[in-house]
Amino acid sequence: MGETISSLQGKSFLAEIDFTAEELLYFLDLAADLKAKKKNGIPHRYLEGKNIALLFEKTSTRTRCAFTVACTDLGAHPEYLGKGDIQLGKKESVEDTAKVLGRMFDGIEFRGFAHKTVRSLAENSGVPVWNGLTDMWHPTQTLADLLTIREHIGHLRNVKLVYVGDGRNNIANSLLVGGSIVGMEVRICAPKSLWPAQEVIYLAQKFSDRVMVTSSIDEAVAGTDVIYTDVWVSMGEEDKFAERIELLSPYQVNMQMIKKTGNDDVIFLHCLPAFHDLETMYGKEIYEKHGLREMEVTDEVFRSKHSKVFEQAENRLHTIKAVLAATLGNME
């Protein structure tokens, strides 16, 4: 694979809805190719000499490391700019910051709160901008999820994926829309107060007539190929633990839920980080206050044969690399 699709060159990667099924699948094919190249020690320095800004308003392990390693493997220089490092939004507007960064960097990654920030960076910088997570969407995660599903199931069309938990967060939104674009049957299973916004459901329904949003676990998980969950409390909502525990405890992914699928080969995915034991500060605090040893997924499921979460985490690298190469790379 040495060519890119011309529609992607110079384009920002802000949300799945901005891309066709063909383009999303192209990113996956390119990611698979780059993964094989990396494993076989074949150089793929398509971004030789480029400089990339990595802006993080929120913390990150996978996204930051994936962008950093992807840049390095592609021959580019990544520059990490954390919350306290630049003026963004405090002393200088997003628009002005974008104009400055665009004159120095060849591309910008942004992780943060408001989706309008990443949009403004894209509108004003004049260089490709990649969304490393906002409150609304997490599209580079979706690509890793789709690649992992395709590696295990062999295809995406008609694959049934149930997302269980906080059905209106960035991961749920992205899976609902991104999965529907590529022809999957996406089901969101959550208490009614945590259902996706109607406008997000409408976006998915443009691509699929099999979108399901339900509070019934039995209805959602029957015959599914993939069960996906995420944290009950996303970054920036840390005051909501008590309320979410109350609402979402019945939606914990446990062996009983896995059995209800009736599919012994069902795969379990989670974008990570996950609360599946007491080995974290938050995990310990929740145990002391609420008596829960595990939250959105049990340790048993997390460590079971169904769980592909670490392959999924590794695929963040290969898929992010594909996005960088396709939108900014010289792949002649």
State both tokens at 286. Answer: 């929740």
Binding mask 188-217 for ligand NVA (x = CB under 6 A): ------------------------------
CB of 261 to ligand CP, least distance (A): 24
CB of 288 to ligand CP, least distance (A): 24
The alpha carbon dihedral of 232, 235, 237, 242 has a sign of positive
Contacting residue, 169, 180, 307, 312, with ligand NVA by CB under 6 A: 169
State both tokens at 89. Answer: 């939004």
Mutual angle of helices 170-181 and 21-39, in 10-degree steps: 100
First and final CA of the chain: distance in angstroms?
10
Q: Is 65 a catalytic site residue?
A: no
CB of 34 to ligand NVA, least distance (A): 22
Binding mask 84-123 for ligand NVA (x = CB under 6 A): ----------------------------------------
Q: How crowded is residue 147: how many other Cβ atoms within 10 Å of its Cβ?
A: 25
Which residues make up each annotated binding site for carbamoyl phosphate?
A: 60-63, 87, 111, 138-141, 271-272, 316
- What is the maximum span of the chain, computed from C-alpha positions, in angstroms? 58
> H-type helices in the chain, by residue range?
21-39, 62-73, 94-104, 115-125, 139-153, 170-181, 198-205, 217-221, 241-248, 255-260, 281-290, 299-302, 309-328
CB of 58 to ligand CP, least distance (A): 8
Pick from ligand NVA, ligand CP, none: which does 61 bind, CB < 5 to 8 A by kind?
ligand CP
Q: How far apart are CA 165 and CA 3, in angstroms?
A: 39
Active-site residue (options: 150, 244, 316, 318): 316
Q: Which residues pair with 130 in a beta bridge?
A: 13, 109
Binding mask 124-143 for ligand NVA (x = CB under 6 A): ---------x----------
Does 230 interact with ligand NVA (rule: CB under 6 A)?
Answer: yes
Which residues make up each annotated binding site?
A: 60-63, 87, 111, 138-141, 170, 230, 234-235, 271-272, 316
How many Cα atoms sit within 13 Å of 320 on the Cβ side?
30
Binding site for ligand NVA (CB under 6 A): 133, 169-171, 230-231, 234-235, 271
Q: Which residues are tagged catalytic? A: 111, 138, 141, 230, 271, 316
